Amino acid sequence: MHGHRELGDFLQTLRARLRPEDVGLPDYGDRRRVPGLRREELALLAGVSSSYYTRLEQGQSLGASPEVLDALARALRLDEAERHHLHDLAGSVKRRPVVRRPPEEHADAAVLDLLEALGDVPALVSGRRGDVLAWNPLGHALFASHLDYFAPQLPDDRPNLARLVFLDTHIRALYTDWPDKARAVVQNLRMVAGRHPDDGRLTSLVGELAMSSPEFASMWAEHAVSPCGSDVYEMHHPLVGDLTVTQQSLRPSRNSDSHLVLATAARGSASQSALRLLAQVVSDARGPRPTHHTTQRC
């Protein structure tokens, strides 16, 4: 990913979504060739010169200070996630990152123990790029029962959540409002790409999805960013039918790029009964619960 272009495209997209009346500027009713604010209007709001902002948006300036970036964030009315993303993109331009192959990700022993302790709560561990590093039996049954349970233990065969959402027909059918889920995946992936512009595998993943899925390419071009959090999804599961779950993404540790993804249903609801039924189906089908042996923790 090219830092100059990413920063410029991000700024241009955010500038286009604001109208003069949104930020207290007069609108004289003149015809605008492009939607949103003009460059000189945004520069005025941010307290920088029009020529400087133009150079920044065109990728010709490498020295944007944190203070200038914060001023632009205020002028553009960015939320916290968008502000962090702006700083990440500007930082990548300064560093001139060299794309490289990062080390293999893995779920450490403590996270695997936590996954096992969750019992009948559907859960999985997702890596930086959305690779599934591990899942418990109910997490596998809820999210991707058509895949091999032990696939996450083989780095070359690990399922990738973004790839599944956009390219796997089973996952597309699983989410009733598929576009909502797909957009959440893209927005999080954009944030990760801003933090890790030197991740060669992430760059390849984005390129693959953009070439394989017009829907991904369109959503990626929106430059929207949002971190993993808590979202409610309606699902249609092939075994237990319709259910509504809250998916929460938690970071096991502050220094980790991995996330623990949990799915829960409202207490006493039909969806909770559906998850209990799915747990019983999994238990009957598998017999003893599979465990992660130390030599297979990868």
pLDDT in tens, 15-48: 998 888 777 777 656 666 667 888 998 899 999 9
Residues of the chain with pLDDT under 50: 292-298
Q: Which pLDDT belongs to residue 293?
A: 44
Q: Which pLDDT belongs to residue 86?
A: 92
Please give the helix or strand (H or E) that residue 125 lies within, else none.
strand 123-126
Q: Which CATH superfamily is domain 3-95 in?
A: lambda repressor-like DNA-binding domains (1.10.260.40)
The answer to whether 270 and 243 are in contact (CB under 8 A) is: yes
Tokens standing for residue 235: 């699902």
What is the pTM assigned to this prediction? 0.86
Q: For the chain, what percentages of helix, strand and coil (3-state, to nearest 5) are there? A: 50, 10, 35
Tens of pLDDT along 161-196? 999 999 999 999 999 999 999 999 999 999 999 988
Q: Tell me the fold of 109-296.
A: Beta-Lactamase (3.30.450)
Q: Which pLDDT belongs to residue 295?
A: 35
Q: Which pLDDT belongs to residue 36?
A: 83
Tokens standing for residue 61: 């300036």
Q: How far is CA 43 from CA 98, 175, 285, in A?
A: 31, 42, 63
- Distance, CA of 236 to CA of 51 (rounded, Å): 53
In the chain, where are the structural domains located? 3-95, 109-296
Q: How far is CA 179 from CA 52, 172, 176, 249, in A?
A: 38, 9, 9, 19
The answer to whether 216 and 182 are in contact (CB under 8 A) is: yes
Closest CA to 77 of 35, 21, 29: 21
- Distance, CA of 137 to CA of 109 (rounded, Å): 17
Q: Which pLDDT belongs to residue 298?
A: 32
Q: Which pLDDT belongs to residue 297?
A: 36
Tokens standing for residue 77: 């009315």
Q: Which pLDDT belongs to residue 30?
A: 61
Q: Which pLDDT belongs to residue 103?
A: 75
DSSP state letters, 228-274 = S-EEEEEEEETTTEEEEEEEEEE-SSTT-S-EEEEEE--TTSHHHHH
Give ∠ CA 181-183-184 in degrees, rounded to 5.
65
Q: Which pLDDT belongs to residue 2?
A: 59
Q: Which pLDDT belongs to residue 167?
A: 97
The SS3 of residue 23 is: helix
Domains 3-95 and 109-296 share a fold: no
Sheet containing strand 241-250, edge to edge, reads: 132-135, 123-126, 259-264, 241-250, 230-237
Q: How many other CB atoms sit within 10 Å of the CB of residue 58? A: 15
Phi, psi of 195 (to 5 degrees): -80, -30
Q: How far is CA 157 from CA 136, 209, 236, 287, in A?
A: 17, 17, 26, 25
